[in-house]
Amino acid sequence: MELSEWWARKRRSPHTTIWNGGGAPIDLGVAGGTRSQGLAINSTGQVVGLSGAATYQATLWTGTAVNLGTLGGPFSIATSINNLGQIVGVSQIVGGSNRAFSYSNGAMTEIPSLAGANSSQAFDINNQGQIVGRNDLTSGNVQATIWNAGVPSALQNPFLNGTFSVAQGLNDLGQAVGVIAPYSSDFSVYHAARWTNGAALDLGLGAAEDINNIGQIVGVYSLPTGDARAKFWDIDGQGRDLTSLLDASGAGWTLYQATGINDAGQIVGAGVNASGQYRGFLLTPVSDVHGVPSPTLGAGLPGLLMAVLGFIGWLCHRRAIVA
């Protein structure tokens, strides 16, 4: 995999930034407050995420930053946008619990929850309007969920009596990826999963975060030492450490997490470069071996990311696993 790196300007109050074709970073600004974080982008260049200061709210960037509001509580986050401009995310309601929402035509709408759920979150939407996320049940179980035409359905957890599953990514074929586990308190027991027509394929230790329309998957897994590493799964479900696939341009890099993959096999995520600096990366395929792209490294992550992770307890990237 071929590696390259871009740099972002340092700032005391991080803002959402976009890079066009490897050019200079463009500051997209905020929709209130002093900080912002972009979490997803569609093919027309529309970006969604959040803006704020003491509190954060879902934001859409279409040349200017637009606050999308909430479902009544103080916080909201837009996690995904499809090519039709349909947006999904999570918002607090009055009383403080979370609800999945969809946003289109200027209106935010709560998405129906599974029966027995007291909290829900939406993490991705495809171009068919299908949505994936999680429902937190009154039993204490966390259930991976797919919404078809707004109707929620539980996705299989193949662990016997498994109590934890989250769907984080979705392609246009309706294949979902995420996490399955017998319980939620220990990341070391998490397995990545791919769901097709509701049935799960166990991909082994790790957490799957995104899937493209070819069926290639990216995410993260844990070494026996507990250290995280970026992982790639090919179309047959075989997983490989992404760092091991880098060509000479990636010498000295360690890739910690892969968070997105497009249909060209380009991958984004975060890692540490040869100088020991934590940076975002863009991996661009230079060859194809058994469905494995060979990748280039990219832009520095703004410091806001860690602040956002703590605000509703995010574990992974834009597809939050909220404990």
The CA distance from 17 to 22, in Å, is: 12
pLDDT tens digits along 218-247: 999 999 888 999 999 999 999 999 999 998
Per the structure block, which two tokens stand in for 239?
């997983």
- Type and span of the H or E element at 305: helix 304-311
CB 309 within 8 A of CB 302: no
Q: What is the DSSP string of 200-247?
A: EEEEEESEEEEE-TT--EEEEEE-TTS-EEEEEE-TTS-EEEGGGG--
Per-residue pLDDT at 24: 60
- On whether the pTM is more than 0.85, the answer is no
pLDDT tens digits along 116-168: 999 999 999 999 999 999 999 999 999 999 999 999 999 999 998 889 999 99
Per the structure block, which two tokens stand in for 30?
């905020």
